[in-house]
Structure 1
């Protein structure tokens, strides 16, 4: 598989400086034996190449460390919670600069088809797949992400998605499509101080104030986030990916989105 150079996603020096403390290079063995472990920056760039192109690990170009080195380090970062901490840190930096607006937040899911033995998928009318649940702020910046089987209804995944927030602040209003029209969900979120705004399903009596529903017209902001994520071809189709590895790729996609915004602010 041949992929052009411009298809790669490599961090700029400024972006790397923002996340470098979390991807610190592994220490040498205390006995001095063995080869020194490869620096983290080229490994991260190699993983981002896989994320962007969707290519198999065996097609990783020679300009990056070996596929086994990149894949092994990727799994180490997942298991040790490095990617969770990176997203939390980027959220805090953007919040300190006043970049987040939690007055109106948007929630939705996108479907990712699962192929050849991917784990944790569900059968739907569209075939086997996984859901990526996400929440953005009023500016369209991601503030939470969660993955789940495609089978459960989205309304049952709202709390898990809120729990996966990058920060500790709750949205004032959560805006979704008709899939989120639920009296029970309205009550549960209200107990947390969150107003749920969603158009009523056709078989339901009108329960939403028309003035509040005007905010629904700005849901294109979360659709834009999913469009950004679909530029990362590894997130369009799941090919034999374990749950943790797939979610790690989703987190890296979110990291790139936040880094690009943070870089513009500096």
Structure 2
């Protein structure tokens, strides 16, 4: 899981095994932030369209922006917040930046802690490139 700011710079990264759903990892990703405050808004895909998650994030002061699932009876998102959803490409770009590091792309590490360390190191290098460039 990866959380980025409006310009695509990594703010938090969390690794987990492949089986848990992304919705269950939101709080762990928020807690893994690099010492920054919680964001005002989170943008996610349709999997994040859940009422309990919306309520939990609203209690923390975070607005969840996710398109409605097609089987939702009562629509919760209108057009205005969903315009921000179009900026989700910035997360995909940051993931592409991370894929330029071979040890992150191929995951040669056996231990999850070592892999997380390499992902965090890659995030630091991305931050340094953007700040110095």
Instruction: State the 1:187 CA deviation.
Output: 0.2
Instruction: Give the whole-Å Cα distance in 2 for the aligned partners of 1:263 and 1:236.
Output: 24
**Which structure has greater strand proportion?**
1
8 Å contact kept, 2:11–2:36: no
Instruction: Give the whole-Å Cα distance in 2 for the aligned partners of 1:160 and 1:221.
Output: 21
Secondary structure of residue in 2 paired with 1:236: helix
Q: 1:139-178 alignment to 2 at 5 Å?
A: 139-178=7-46
Equivalent residue in structure 1 for 2:6, among 138, 145, 149: 138
Residues 221 and 239 of structure 1: is their aligned pair in 2 closer, same or farther, counting only changes over 3 Å? same
Instruction: State the 1:168 CA deviation.
Output: 3.1
Equivalent residue in structure 1 for 2:104, among 218, 226, 235: 235
Instruction: Give the whole-Å Cα distance in 1 for the aligned partners of 2:94 and 2:66.
Output: 19
Instruction: Give the whole-Å Cα distance in 2 for the aligned partners of 1:143 and 1:239.
Output: 24
After TM superposition, where is structure 1 displaced by more than 4 Å over at least 4 residues in a row?
Answer: none
Corresponding residue for residue 62 of structure 2 = 194
Q: 1:37-52 alignment to 2 at 5 Å?
A: none
Do residues 253 (structure 1) and 122 (structure 2) align?
yes
Instruction: Give the whole-Å Cα distance in 1 for the aligned partners of 2:33 and 2:63.
Output: 17
Structure 1: stretches of 5+ with no match in the other structure = 1-132
TM-score, with structure 2 as normaliser: 0.95
Deviation larger for 234-243 or 168-177: 234-243
Q: 1:89-168 alignment to 2 at 5 Å?
A: 133-168=1-36
Secondary structure of residue in 2 paired with 1:196: strand
**Which structure has greater helix proportion?**
2
Corresponding residue for residue 113 of structure 2 = 244
Instruction: Give the whole-Å Cα distance in 2 for the aligned partners of 1:240 and 1:192.
Output: 35
Instruction: Give the whole-Å Cα distance in 2 for the aligned partners of 1:193 and 1:152.
Output: 25
Secondary structure of residue in 2 paired with 1:157: helix
8 Å contact kept, 2:109–2:115: no
Structure 2: stretches of 5+ with no match in the other structure = none
Instruction: State the 1:240 CA deviation.
Output: 4.7
